[in-house]
Chain A
Amino acid sequence: MTRLPAPNSEGLRARYPAVFNRPVSARLATPAMLLGAVGIFVFGLVDLEFSPARMLAGLHQLGWITLMMIPPDPGSSLPAYLVALGETLSIALLGTTIAAIFALPVSLLAARNIVPSNIFRFPVRRFLDSIRGVDTLIWALVWINVVGLGPFAGVLAIAVSDFGAFGKLFSEAIEAADRNQVEGIRASGGNALHEIRFGLMPQVLPVIAGQVLYFIESNTRSATIIGIVGAGGIGLQLAEQIRVLEWQKVSFLILMILVAVAAIDWISGKLRFAIIGRRAVV
């Protein structure tokens, strides 16, 4: 066996000071960050009243609840639950559609390639951001104050909160659109509206349709929870049954939600493929 010549470590050290002689601050940065993260975590556990005894008691209780959930059983209220599920799906579909219809024109105003001026775009963007900053549940509470309890408040809540999200997503889709087609329309004598209608929309609409379908899917989930504050749908039933500790009904309702979401997932997946083909979806 031949021995390799010993590497000239002094020379290497001299040549790569950044590797061999890292300053203490750089070497300590990662451990310090980790330590900080763990520190906040532990502080959080203490501050948020976690204790082993409490966790144990809670898990014990949770085990009982789970046992009582089996088997899932709707009792005699299956028809009412099916109606509630229909309500939830209606809320999701209608809310998302309304949001998309209103968001489309606004998103044009928030897109850099349509409104080049920062001064006009900025307020529109911040407006959309603040709508998104407020959770759907809060919007549901506000709308309940306006139109009263019931699924209609849910529709409006989903519509408003998605309006913010769509405005942002649509404007990003518009900004990503190909400039050449718009220029083609302008070259053949089209005005600004023609440019949007024939140059932008054919590129953007399939993307938007994909996003809307995706949101209908995720809103089926959101629509289940706005019922908890009284805005109709299956969440109302679920919250009620949890409050009266009817665990078999609770587990049945959760199963219904899982099945419904899976079904919507499947349908919208098929539709998205039909609209935008096998390209990456959203």
Chain B
Amino acid sequence: MTRLSFANADNDAGLMTVAVPILPSQQLAALSGAYRAAVARKRIRSTVAAAVFLAALVIAAVGAEVDLRTFVTKIGNFVSYFDRILTLESGARVWTDIGEWLWGWRKWSLLLGETILISYVGTLSGAMLAFALNFLAAENTAPAPWLRFAVKRLMEFCRTVPDIVFALIFVIAFGLGPTAGVLAIAIHSIGALGKQYSEIVENIDMKPVEGVRSTGASWISCMRFAVLPQVAAGFAGYTLLRFEINVRGASVMGFVGAGGIGQELVVAIRKFYYSDVSAILLMIILTVFVIDIGTGWARGRLFGKDARA
């Protein structure tokens, strides 16, 4: 700390050439003492916080049966797993024989199409319901407090229960197949989008609403002519983002029998069809990339270049 010299701010301009006046040692000692005391309190606080956090981590490690020995002995498997999924049955690397590697591309493309369709239909129906509900949940447009409370709790329930849990239940109610996946994604989207929509609505300018109301318009007309024009772009942006997330979600719906590419993938992983695993993963990743870029482009068109959500 002795290097710290308390130069006058006025002297700053000439700092390079002018000798910096150093305070007398008594004054300096008092100042650095105060500094140390201030830092010490902060340091003690962060040390305690770090200790608590570490203790929580250790408890969590015990709870999650973390076994470093298994990890160290098996980590080789992780690397070799990727080695294996990139090897064809003939022993050659997958990229030396693309035709053999992606032998099922026709079937997989169809399933990926189904995956995208599941998330499209699910997102759109979820968005429509969320759209109908969100005006009831936003603070400034809700017609009645009790209704707002009820709708908010409903949305919370819809988004906290993971979509795949809904899918598990719907597979039993509606039978195996994409229907269950679509419904699960729709329900989850109602919760997630309803919350985001109502937050946008809460941030609008209320003057147009007053203007429309003053003409004697009903609640519905107020929403249609005063609120909707302000929020439409924001709604569309969030819906696109949700679609992107749902494509990822739909890619694993097949794990529980709810349609899409997931079924093929889980079979390939469980039955150790190594090169199929990498082929399907590659196709999923590429699809997600394309969807990401597409929705990013669409959002850019909606909001202009610099205001990407």
Bound state CA distance, A138 and B118, in angstroms?
A: 19
Chain A to chain B contacts (Cβ below 8 Å), 5 pairs: A49-B179, A90-B61, A143-B78, A232-B65, A254-B165
Closest A residue to B260 by CB, please name it. A48
Measured in the bound complex, the distance between the Cα atoms of B53 and A97 in whole Å is 10
Give the shortest distance, in Å, between A81 (CB) and chain B (any CB): 14
Q: Which residues of A contact B118 (CB under 8 A)?
A: 44, 48
Taking a contact as CB atoms under 8 Å apart, the answer to whether A40 and B120 are in contact is: yes
Which of B25-33, B206-214, B251-259 lies on the face that meets chain A? Answer: B251-259
Chain A 149-180 per-residue mask, 1 if CB under 8 angstroms from chain B, else 0: 01110110000000000000000000000000
Instruction: Check: A21 CB closer than 8 A to any chain B CB.
Output: no
Instruction: Please report the C-alpha to C-alpha distance between residue A54 and residue B117 in the assembled complex, in whole angstroms.
Output: 19
Measured in the bound complex, the distance between the Cα atoms of B114 and A229 in whole Å is: 22
Q: Give CA–CA (A87, B70) in the complex, Å.
A: 18
At the interface, yes or no: A93 with Cβ under 8 Å from chain B? yes
A35 contacts partner chain B, Cβ-Cβ < 8 Å: no
In the bound complex, CA of A4 to CA of B61 (Å): 81
CB nearest neighbor in A for B181: A48
Instruction: Known pairs A41-B124, A242-B168; list 8 more (Cβ under 8 Å).
Output: A41-B121, A50-B179, A59-B173, A62-B169, A89-B60, A134-B284, A143-B78, A228-B255
Say whether, besides A90-B63, A94-B57, A97-B57, A48 and B259 are in contact (CB < 8 Å): yes
B144 part of interface (Cβ distance < 8 Å): no
B66 touches A152 (CB 8 A): yes
Q: Of the candidates A37, A135, A148, which one forms a contact with B248 in the assembled complex, judged by CB atoms under 8 Å apart?
A: A135
Interface check A258, CB cutoff 8 A:
yes
B224 interface residue (CB < 8 Å to A): no
On A, residues with C-beta under 8 Å from B are: 37, 40-41, 43-45, 47-50, 54-55, 57-59, 61-62, 65, 86-87, 89-91, 93-94, 97, 129-130, 133-135, 137-138, 141-143, 145-148, 150-152, 154-155, 221-222, 224-225, 228-229, 232, 235, 238-239, 242, 245, 250, 254, 257-258, 261-262
What is the CB-to-nearest-CB distance from A280 to chain B, in angstroms, rounded to a whole number?
12
Question: Is the CB–CB distance between B266 and A133 below 8 Å?
Answer: no
Report yes or no: A58 in contact with B173, Cβ–Cβ below 8 A. yes
CA of A90 to CA of B63 in the docked complex: distance in angstroms?
6
B residues within 8 A CB of A54? Answer: 174-175, 179
B162: interface (CB < 8 Å): yes
Interface residues of B in 152-211 (CB under 8 A from A): 157, 160-162, 164-165, 168-170, 172-175, 177-179, 182
Contacts A58-B170, A130-B285; is A229 near B60 (CB within 8 Å)? no
Contacting residues, chain A, for B56 (C-beta < 8 A): 93
Instruction: Report the nearest A residue to B76, measured CB to CB.
Output: A146
Instruction: Return A49 CB to nearest CB of chain B, in Å.
Output: 6
Q: How near does chain B come to A200, taking the closest CB pair, in angstroms? A: 18
Cα separation A45 to B157 with both chains bound (whole Å) = 26
Using Cβ atoms and an 8 Å threshold, which residues of chain A touch B160?
A: 221, 257-258, 261-262
The answer to whether A152 touches B121, judged by C-beta atoms less than 8 angstroms apart, is no
Counted as pairs of residues, one from A and one from B, with CB atoms less than 8 Å apart, the total is 167
* Consensus secondary structure, chain B interface: helix
Most chain A CB inside 10 Å of its own CB: which residue of B64, B160, B169: B64
Partner of B162, one of A142, A225, A245: A225
Q: Are A94 and B66 in contact (CB under 8 A)?
A: yes
CA distance A26 to B259 in the complex (A): 38
Known: A48-B179, A54-B174, A224-B165. A91 touches B124 (CB 8 A): no
**Residue in A closest to B174 when the chains form the complex, CB atoms:** A58
CA distance A37 to B125 in the complex (A): 12
**Residues of B contacting A65 in the complex (Cβ-Cβ under 8 angstroms):** 169, 172-173
Q: Which residue of B lies closest to A92 (CB)?
A: B60
With contacts A54-B174, A242-B172 taken as known, whether A45 is within 8 angstroms of B63 at the C-beta atoms is no
Q: How far is the CA of A261 from the CA of B162 in the complex (A)?
A: 11
Q: Out of B64, B81, B121, B168, which one reaches A146, CB within 8 Å?
A: B81
Distance from A153 Cβ to chain B, minimum over Cβ atoms (Å): 10
- How far is the CB of A36 from the nearest CB of chain B, in Å? 12
Q: Is A129 within 8 A of B289, CB to CB?
A: yes
Asked if B300 lies at the interface with its beta carbon under 8 angstroms from chain A, I say: no
Residues of chain B from 28 to 87 with CB closer than 8 A to chain A in the complex: 56-57, 59-67, 70-71, 74-75, 77-78, 81
Query: Does B265 make an interface contact (CB < 8 A)?
Result: yes
Decide: A228 near B70, CB < 8 A? Known: A145-B77, A151-B64: no
The interface residues of chain A lying within 8 Å CB-to-CB of B179 are: 48-50, 54, 58
Do A135 and B114 touch (CB < 8 A)? no
Contact A93 B57 (CB under 8 A): yes
- B288 interface residue per 8 A CB criterion: yes
Would you call B117 and A155 a contact (CB within 8 A)? no
Residue B234 interfacial (CB < 8 Å) = no
Residues of A within 8 A of B284 (CB): 133-134
A198 CB, nearest partner CB in chain B, Å: 13
CA distance A134 to B125 in the complex (A): 25
The reply to whether A147 and B71 contact each other, CB–CB distance below 8 Å, is yes
Question: Which B residues are CB-close (under 8 A) to A94?
Answer: 57, 60-61, 64, 66
Give Cα A93 to B66, complex, Å. 13
Q: Which of A61, A93, A97, A135 contacts B173 (CB 8 A)?
A: A61
Q: Quick one: given A44-B120, A54-B174, are A258 and B157 in contact (CB under 8 Å)? A: yes
Given A90-B61, A135-B249, A225-B165, A146–B74 Cβ distance below 8 Å?
yes
Contact B269 A145 (CB under 8 A): yes
- CA separation between A238 and B169, bound complex, in Å? 10
